[in-house]
Amino acid sequence: KWGRYRHFADYERAVFAKDSKTQVLMISEVQQPLFIKHYDTPPSRFHLLPPGISQDRRAPPDAPDIRAGFRKEFGLADEDLLLVQIGSGFKTKGVDRSLKALAALPAELKKRTRLFVIGQDDPKVFQLQSAALGLGDQVTFMKGRSDIPRFLLGADLLIHPAYNENTGTVLLEALVAGLPVLVSAVCGYAHYIAEADCGRVLDEPFDQVQLNRYLSDMLEDDDARSAWGRNGLAFADTADLYSMPQHAADVILAEHY
């Protein structure tokens, strides 16, 4: 029963023990305090890497044309608003929270808002929740796709009220595509949304009422969404969101040469 647990616990201890000779590459600051607390790992052995998102996620010069084609394909009128939630593990990602927030929108706003949920997971329980909330065909569940950049360019807001998330790469993919983000603070990359001023970060502990209010406010305010989108694109030009492999290689090579 405990063999598998002991196996991985031994592996973890070998890496993080106080007297170990390892250097630790971290993709997020979220878990570092936990390792220090449990293993007394010296902070000097941790190396925080920048994100490593692909440059092809950035908004291309023809982004307006891609957006127009996407919205035509999915039958979205100019006044319609599209939310996207992207990532496998719908429960952890907080899809239930998103559905409640959509259902809580003022009637006129809710009527013209749709939600696409994309990821590798069984949507059945969330489809039942959606039906119980009276959302009808406003919510569409899709399997994982290879054309996510089109969705980021065609949508009006990325919603990501996750229960926990070590990083949240899709947050940065939305940022560099110019898509405003509404995210829970537990996500490791949520601080980039605040730094870029390209959306809103929920307080902790999570409050559904706050999510409902933020979502309504963001969808009602076209000018604010435009400004958040511009801020994200500007941040993408100056911040290091792309060089994780190079920094990792630098640490590894410094240890061996």
The DSSP annotation for 168-210 comes to: -HHHHHHHHHT--EEE-TTBTTHHHHHHHT-EEE--SS--HHH
How far is 257 from 255, CA to CA, in rounded Å?
A: 6
pLDDT of residue 147: 96
pTM above 0.75, yes or no: yes
Strand partners, 113: 81
Strand partners, 120: none
**Rg of the Cα trace of the chain?**
20
Task: Quote the tokens at residue 12.
Answer: 């973890």
Domains of the chain: 3-50+242-256 (no CATH), 56-238 (3.40.50.2000)
pLDDT of residue 68: 99
How far is 231 from 234, CA to CA, in rounded Å?
A: 5
Tracing tokens 């100019």 back to the chain, one arrives at 78
pLDDT of residue 1: 58
* Mean pLDDT (whole number) for 36-61: 96
Backbone angles phi, psi at 21, to 5 degrees: -95, 10
How far is 63 from 246, CA to CA, in rounded Å?
A: 28
Q: Quick one: pLDDT band at residue 3, thresholds 50, 70, 90?
A: confident
Q: Quick one: pLDDT band at residue 255, thresholds 50, 70, 90?
A: confident
Q: How many residues does the chain have?
A: 257
Contact 151, 84 (CB under 8 A): yes
* Mean pLDDT (whole number) for 85-94: 98
pLDDT in tens, 63-86: 999 999 999 999 999 999 999 999
